[in-house]
Structure 1
């Protein structure tokens, strides 16, 4: 486990992240990047400079001091837009393309599914669904969907 006591992460005057490494060098406009945002969102985070160079690798978020961890989580949440489908309300047709009315973690949404190939399995219980606008929707656990949602989704799997 690395020693993160010499590392500082804070927002600069423009609201962007600034990183100060153990060497004391300040890097403005850094970006946190998850290596595995779906499979292991709490592990494998890189702090990347404005010119794309990795400044720091973090094996696990829980290894960081609380203030740094909270700031990183806040920044990652602002950068990542991955609404989670909580319920499928309606599907216009069981042939593609079809329009889906869904309830997500970010509110109600409408997505248009071009074809079954736009539904990808992630592990045993998760799915990624891409709509015609390129927005990725996530179903974390198929088993946790209500019966009506599973019945509608089963027609496409």
Structure 2
């Protein structure tokens, strides 16, 4: 069993993540992946090699020393790209397929919704939207949306 507090992380000359075990063994090209990125993002972080083979799974980021945790948090934030939809500016049709123009926490964008399956309810007020390119968008709380956006979203959930 690997002593998690002894793990260290750095980057090699090519910018790949390097993991060093307490005994000095190293693995290059390590990728951290959240096993449950939406429902429990702080738990179960898989560390895989460049071929996608699992090296180990962290039960929680708290299992690491503070320096290693900070490096992994930065890696995970670069990997996690889930813009938050603040407002639907327009929808080309009331039902998919349709094109949405939205305002997100990262700016205005537009995307194609192919089917009603692209919008998934994750709780009483939380929604995940996936566009035709596989990019996920989050609506953390539908109650915080303006009334026009609420009507558009509620029609599809």
Q: TM-score range by the shorter chain?
A: 0.7 to 0.9
C-alpha displacement at 1:149, in angstroms?
1.6
Partner of 1:138: helix, strand, or coil?
Answer: strand
Partner of 1:5: helix, strand, or coil?
Answer: helix
TM-score after normalising by structure 1 = 0.87
TM-score after normalising by structure 2 = 0.87
Equivalent residue, structure 2, for 1:66: 66
User: Cα gap change, 1:152/1:28 in structure 2, threshold over 3 Å: closer, same or farther?
Assistant: same
Deviations for 1:77-99, whole angstroms, at most 9, x for unmatched residues? 22232222122122222133222
CA distance in 2, matches of 1:121, 1:149: 15
Deviations for 1:32-52, whole angstroms, at most 9, x for unmatched residues? 011100001111101112233
CA distance in 1, matches of 2:118, 2:51: 33
Equivalent residue, structure 2, for 1:130: 130
Gapped regions of structure 2 (runs ≥ 5): none
Aligned pair count reads 156
Instruction: Select between 51-60 and 94-103 the one with higher mean Cα deviation.
Output: 51-60
C-alpha displacement at 1:3, in angstroms?
4.7
Matched, 1:146 2:113: no
- What is the CA RMSD across the aligned residues, in angstroms? 1.9
Gapped regions of structure 1 (runs ≥ 5): none
8 Å CA contact retained: 2:95, 2:116: no
Instruction: Select between 122-131 and 28-37 the one with higher mean Cα deviation.
Output: 122-131
